[in-house]
């Protein structure tokens, strides 16, 4: 609470409405509008552009400065010096682990990488061409059928066990989705491998040949997981918090996050970026697509550009661009035609008055797809990779929320529908004449 008050003068009200304000450690102060209901008002903020839905200590974003902190640590420092599992520990527990704590955490995650053997039977119900995000929504939600021993969400120990299980098993399930689509046998995790290395082993190894994973590709994969780990109250994290506020079990909550992330405006953008680059096909076509993106009457948007919060560069995109160059050099793909289109597109967008005025910069999804394609990951697996990395962020916010007194999330509305009217018998009723699309 601050000693600053917000005073709201509303025409027709005898007295002004006084509202408390709160100050965080960083970022804008907030106005507590809960008192408005008693005065007969709701706030109105479609898309929650100006709404702080909760208090949190996990991640801070300053869109104007292109700043992203996880528990106070800048994302570029974590990407340079840390790894995904250490960042998971930081997001979950609030501090960087000691050497011993880090080793214990890695050991715990490593020993939870296998999934119940029955899970493999779930995949038989999916056609081979099922979208892997459809499979992940279903299978992650179904995990709650296997873990009755840790579903008491009021028990912090149960919450942390569920967190460990989800962080550990997401790569295994993601790789199973890919193997199912390829008609290849599932590969078991190898507990001698690192987290990202193990994932690439499960993706591309087979019982007949299991080549050593390139350390450069394993490091790039780990960095992709790290850069996607958390991002404040984005759409999917807000969904997980809302689902968790009803008391739903952690697996159901994470499945709701996966479903939300799937949209092309959110985590589905990396898949959409690749499709867009392939549709553009050649740098000579870029101007026509940029014109489409600027045309108000054309729904086409440059996928991988723009962000609700970053009105300056997305710090993750900067790191991802460097990783992209490293991976393509490692694979001898520096002249990848899609990369040429992406780099030219970025250059045009950064110079074009439309994009400058609307503050549209490349976001985290712009380069990640090119890296994943170069590694050999199919486009429809990109959002599954995003979901795998983001699972720790979802579960950290879920755990943080349940550590406090939780009210079920239940927004209100501005109602503009029909006023009360009486039912009429169908006989003789006039045609409804409405769109029944
Ligand atoms: C992620 O929230 C998070 O933190 C998400 C995320 C995370 O880590 O969780 O960072 C991950 O989702 C990144 C964003 C991935 N999505 C895309 O790349 C899809 C393309 N981008 C857009 O759809 C859009 O930029 C959003 C959805 C990302 C942001 O939309 P906003 O904040 O609601 O902004 P807006 O739609 O109101 O756009 C503002 C203006 C509009 O023009 P006007 O109506 O003011 O004339 O900018 C235009 C838009 O038309 N615009 C674009 C554009 N994005 C916005 N024009 C062309 N191409 C684009 N990509």
pLDDT band at 246 (very low <50, low <70, confident <90, very high): very high
Q: How far is the CA of 334 from the centre of ligand 1 (A)?
A: 29
Ligand 1 atom nearest to 267, measured from its CA? 12
Ligand 1 centroid–CA 362 distance in Å is 10
pLDDT (0 to 100) of residue 29: 96
Q: How far is the CA of 101 from the centre of ligand 1 (A)?
A: 39
Alpha-carbon torsion, ordered 82, 84, 90, 92, to 10 deg: 180
Burial tier of 422 (Cβ tally within 10 Å: 0-12, 13-18, 19+)? exposed
Q: Residue with the nearest Cα to atom 13 of ligand 1?
A: 266
pLDDT tens, position by position, 217-227: 999 999 999 99
CA of 46 from ligand 1 middle (Å) equals 15
Could you tell which of 69, 307, 342 is best to mutate to test the pocket of ligand 1, judged by most ligand atoms within 8 Å of the CB? 307
At residue 429, the pLDDT reads 94
Distance CA 92, CA 109 (A): 13
The string of pLDDT tens digits covering residues 103-158 is 999 999 999 999 999 999 999 999 999 999 999 999 999 999 998 888 899 999 99
What percentage of the chain exceeds 90 in pLDDT?
86
| Active-site annotation holds for 365 | yes
Using the atom order of ligand 1, give the atom closest to the CA of residue 232: 4
197 or 367: which leads in pLDDT: 197
Q: Report pLDDT for 248.
A: 96
| Residue identifier of the C-alpha nearest atom 41 of ligand 1 | 358
Which of these is catalytic: 180, 228, 231, 307?
307
Percentage of the chain modeled with pLDDT above 70: 100
- pLDDT score at 119: 95
Q: Whose CA is nearest to atom 23 of ligand 1?
A: 265
Residues 29/4, Cβ–Cβ less than 8 Å = yes
**All residues at 6 or more sequence positions from 368 whose CB lies less than 8 Å from its CB, including other chains:** 224, 227, 228, 270, 320, 382, 385, 386
Q: What is the pLDDT of residue 312?
A: 83
The pLDDT score that the predictor gives to residue 437 is 79
334 pLDDT tier (thresholds 50, 70, 90): confident
Ligand 1 binding pocket, CB closer than 6 Å: 231, 234, 265-267, 269, 293, 301-309, 358, 360, 363-365
Note the pLDDT tens digit of each residue in 72-102.
999 999 999 999 999 999 999 999 999 999 9
Residue 413 has pLDDT above 80, yes or no: yes
Q: Would you say residue 349 has pLDDT above 90?
A: no
Spacing, Cα 268 to ligand 1 middle (Å): 12
Does the structure show a pLDDT above 90 at 273? yes
Reported as a single tens digit per residue, the pLDDT across 3-39 is 799 999 999 888 999 999 999 999 999 999 999 999 9
The protein residue with its alpha carbon nearest to ligand 1, atom 32, reads: 308
Token pair listed for 364? 């985290």
Predicted local confidence at residue 47, as pLDDT: 94
Judge whether residue 2 has pLDDT over 80: no
Catalytic residue among 365, 380, 397, 399: 365
Neighbours of 270 (CB within 10 A): 29
**Helix residue ranges, H only, 146-194:** 156-182
Average pLDDT, the chain: 94
pLDDT over 90 at 436, yes or no: no
pLDDT score recorded for residue 313: 85
Sheet holding 67-70, edge to edge: 59-62, 67-70, 73-74
Cα-to-centroid distance, 307 and ligand 1 (Å): 5
Q: Name the residue at shortest CA distance from atom 18 of ligand 1.
A: 304
Which pLDDT band, with edges at 50, 70 and 90, does 247 fall under?
Answer: very high
Cα 323 to ligand 1 centre (Å): 24
128 vs 163: CA distance, rounded Å:
30
Mean pLDDT confidence for 37-48: 95
Q: What mean pLDDT is predicted for residues 314-328?
A: 92
- Is 307 assigned a catalytic role? yes
Task: Point out the catalytic residue in the list 112, 131, 158, 266.
Answer: 266
Please give the Cα distance from 310 to 240 (Å, whole number): 22
What was the pLDDT predicted at 336?
A: 84
Q: For residue range 280-305, what is the model confidence (pLDDT) as tens digits?
A: 999 999 999 999 999 999 999 999 99
Q: Which residue's CA lies nearest to atom 34 of ligand 1?
A: 308
Q: Encode pLDDT of 124-135 as tens digits.
A: 999 999 999 999
Residues 353-374: what's their mean pLDDT?
A: 90
Whether the per-residue pLDDT at 164 is higher than 90: the answer is yes
């Amino acid at each position: 609470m601050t000693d600053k008050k917000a005073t709201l003068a509303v025409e027709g009200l005898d007295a002004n409405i006084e509202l408390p304000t709160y100050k965080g450690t960083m970022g804008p102060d907030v106005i507590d509008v809960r008192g408005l209901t008693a005065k007969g008002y709701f706030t109105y903020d479609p898309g929650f552009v100006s709404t702080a839905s909760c208090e949190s200590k996990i991640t801070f974003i300053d869109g104007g400065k292109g700043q992203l902190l996880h528990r106070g640590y800048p994302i570029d420092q974590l990407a340079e010096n840390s790894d995904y599992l250490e960042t998971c520990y930081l997001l979950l527990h609030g501090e960087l682990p000691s050497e011993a704590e880090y080793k214990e955490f890695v050991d715990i995650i490593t020993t939870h990488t296998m999934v119940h053997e029955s899970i493999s039977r779930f995949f038989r119900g999916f056609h081979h061409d099922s979208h892997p995000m459809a499979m992940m929504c279903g299978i992650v939600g179904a995990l709650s059928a296997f873990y009755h021993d840790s579903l008491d969400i009021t028990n912090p120990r149960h919450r942390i066990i569920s967190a460990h299980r989800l962080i550990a098993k997401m790569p295994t399930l993601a790789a199973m989705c890919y193997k199912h689509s390829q008609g290849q046998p599932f590969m078991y995790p190898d507990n001698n491998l690192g987290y990202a290395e193990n994932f690439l082993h499960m993706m591309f190894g087979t019982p007949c040949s299991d080549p050593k994973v390139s350390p450069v590709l394993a490091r790039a994969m780990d960095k992709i997981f790290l850069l996607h780990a958390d991002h404040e109250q984005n759409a999917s994290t807000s969904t997980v918090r809302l689902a968790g506020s009803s008391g739903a079990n952690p697996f159901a909550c994470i499945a709701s996050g996966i479903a939300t992330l799937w949209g092309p405006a959110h985590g589905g953008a990396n898949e959409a970026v690749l499709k867009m680059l392939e549709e553009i096909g050649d740098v000579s076509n870029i101007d026509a697509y940029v014109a489409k993106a600027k045309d108000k009457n054309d729904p086409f948007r440059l996928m991988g550009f723009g962000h609700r919060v970053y009105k300056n560069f997305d710090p993750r995109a900067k790191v991802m661009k460097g990783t992209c160059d490293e991976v393509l050099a490692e694979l001898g793909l520096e002249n990848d035609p899609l990369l040429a289109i992406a780099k030219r597109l970025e250059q045009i967008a950064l110079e074009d008055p439309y994009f400058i005025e609307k503050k549209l910069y490349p976001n985290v999804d712009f380069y990640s797809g090119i890296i994943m394609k170069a590694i050999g990951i199919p486009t429809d697996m990109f959002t599954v990779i995003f979901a795998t990395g983001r699972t720790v962020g979802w579960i950290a916010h879920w755990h943080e929320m349940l550590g406090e007194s939780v009210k079920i999330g239940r927004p209100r509305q501005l109602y503009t529908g029909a006023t009360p009217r009486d039912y009429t018998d169908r006989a003789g009723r006039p045609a409804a004449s409405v769109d029944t699309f």
